[in-house]
């Protein structure tokens, strides 16, 4: 199949990049494919393209500072179509992006048929959601149960917890009492249905509140 589209593969795993190269070459004839491994090289590649672009990106492994930064880049390059390609997208993240017409979402565990469909839809300017994500959105829209939401303060404290800060350190950083931070921490754990710092960190990573590099630091 002929296409004038340039593909950008934004993924830090060699095996994933090789697999995506294989899918692209099977479907499209001699189209340009650019590999990038960080945000800087992604922006440079986008700036160097003046035609149709499809970016396949593993959001959870890339050095983006949260979903808002992803959306800023997406709005900056309106001629680009995005395929988020991961196995670690949180429910909140998926629902946050469900209304973005230029962003498709698939999982690394999806069949080859769905991966090919996502590529073909992106080249045609259409959005594609894999069946697991579609089912999640349908179930969520039909559910009468209100999902617990964190306040802005609770989100900021969750970020600090996930970065390894102690209650005392958080209280000092936020000029709050230790008792206040303990209360926020209890409320966060209750709302999220979690029991310890490890689970809080895992949630923050999945939701895109912190990046993997911050966790290791």
Closest CA to 128 of 107, 156, 150: 107
Q: Topology of 6-142 in CATH?
A: Rossmann fold (3.40.50)
Per-domain residue ranges of the chain: 6-142, 152-216
**Cα 32 from Cα 26, distance rounded (Å):** 13
Q: Are 46 and 80 in contact (CB under 8 A)?
A: yes
**Cα 107 from Cα 31, distance rounded (Å):** 24
Beta strands in 27-112 (DSSP E): 33-36, 53-57, 80-86, 103-107
207 has pLDDT over 90: no
**Token pair 């899918």 is at which residue?**
23
**With the C-alpha atoms ordered 139, 100, 148, 155, is the resulting torsion angle positive or negative?**
positive
For the segment 88-111, the average pLDDT, to the nearest whole number, is 85
**Cα 191 from Cα 169, distance rounded (Å):** 23
Q: Topology of 152-216 in CATH?
A: Arc Repressor Mutant, subunit A (1.10.10)
Q: How confident is the model at residue 144 (pLDDT cuts 50, 70, 90)?
A: very low
**Cα 109 from Cα 103, distance rounded (Å):** 18
b (16+ CB within 10 A) / e for 146-181 = eeeebeeebebbbbbbbbebebeebbeebeeeeeeb
Q: How confident is the model at residue 214 (pLDDT cuts 50, 70, 90)?
A: very low
Judge if pTM exceeds 0.85: no
> Which run of H or of E encompasses 156?
helix 152-162
For the segment 4-23, the average pLDDT, to the nearest whole number, is 92
Q: What's the pLDDT at 136?
A: 75
pLDDT digits (tens, 9 = 90+) for 28-43: 988 999 999 999 999 9
Same CATH fold, 152-216 and 6-142?
A: no
Q: Are 140 and 96 in contact (CB under 8 A)?
A: no
Beta strands in the chain (DSSP E): 6-10, 33-36, 53-57, 80-86, 103-107
21 has pLDDT over 50: yes
């Amino acid at each position: 199949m002929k296409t004038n589209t340039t593909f950008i593969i934004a993924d830090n795993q060699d095996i994933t990049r090789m697999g995506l190269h294989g899918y692209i070459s099977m479907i499209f004839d001699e189209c340009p494919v650019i590999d990038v491994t960080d945000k800087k090289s992604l922006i440079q590649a986008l700036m160097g393209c003046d035609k149709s672009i499809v970016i396949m990106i593993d959001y959870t492994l890339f050095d983006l500072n949260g979903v808002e930064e992803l959306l800023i880049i997406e709005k900056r390059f309106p001629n680009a179509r995005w395929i988020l390609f991961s196995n670690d997208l949180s429910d909140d993240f998926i629902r946050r992006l469900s209304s973005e017409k230029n962003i498709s979402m698939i999982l690394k565990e999806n069949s080859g048929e769905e991966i090919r469909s996502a590529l073909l839809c992106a080249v045609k300017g259409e959005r594609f959601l894999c069946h697991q994500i579609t089912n999640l959105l349908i179930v969520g829209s039909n559910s009468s149960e209100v999902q617990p939401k964190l306040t802005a303060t609770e989100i900021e404290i969750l970020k600090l917890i996930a970065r390894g800060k102690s209650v005392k350190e958080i209280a000092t950083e936020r000029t709050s009492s230790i008792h206040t931070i303990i209360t926020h921490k209890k409320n966060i754990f209750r709302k999220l249905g979690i029991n310890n710092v490890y689970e809080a960190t895992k949630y923050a990573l999945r939701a895109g509140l912190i990046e993997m590099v911050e966790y290791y630091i």
